[in-house]
Structure 1
Amino acid sequence: MTHVVTESCIRCKYTDCVDVCPVDCFREGPNFLTIDPDECIDCAVCIPECPVSAIYAEEDLPKDQMHMIQLNEELAQLPGWKSITKRKEPLPDADDWKDKTGKLPQLLR
């Protein structure tokens, strides 16, 4: 099992979670963070750090977010999605997007 970043992160990209990750399993894309399932050790310290509650243990993932398991794995392997290990500012309009749902079409690869 691993942890999964859900659609809530899209267009927000708060990075509070990366500061606490002991194995640097987060990868950064243009407007989303993903967790590399090959690196994640299931410690769960990232879950309470996310201000938009976008991170779940795979077994606790809401049914409408199950597609994000495969997507996290796929995106973590893309060459342009590099490891992120230090907190950065969220996207400039993150507060405008943090409560929106159905953001998958907004995902930039």
Structure 2
Amino acid sequence: MIGGAYAFHLKKHIAIEMLVNRFSDATQKRVRQLVQLFLIAFALLVMVYGGIQLVSLTMSQQTVSLGIPMGFVYLSLPISGLLITWFCLTELLTGKNGTTQGSDEPIDL
């Protein structure tokens, strides 16, 4: 999940740009801003709020192999939601994302 949030920041996630690219440049900017707002709402409601609920429900369960609470495993969900929210807010406020324009290289980890 945290790697997915990083890929989201670098714009290496699966995205459908075909519909957005049909609009004029000014409209594309507004559509992308609207998408960022929807992503912030989703990340906060589903990933952070729902993730915190899931973590609190599973803290009493133990993993079979490691013997640690399952809540620690599911903690990646709210952390990833916070990271995605941060990345979206950064892009909304600065207009910059985590990648250079036209960059299609694979992610080097």
TM (norm. structure 2) is 0.34
* Bigger Cα Rg: 2
* Structure with more of its chain in helix, by fraction: 2
Highest relative contact order (Cα 8 Å, sep 6+), 1 or 2? 1
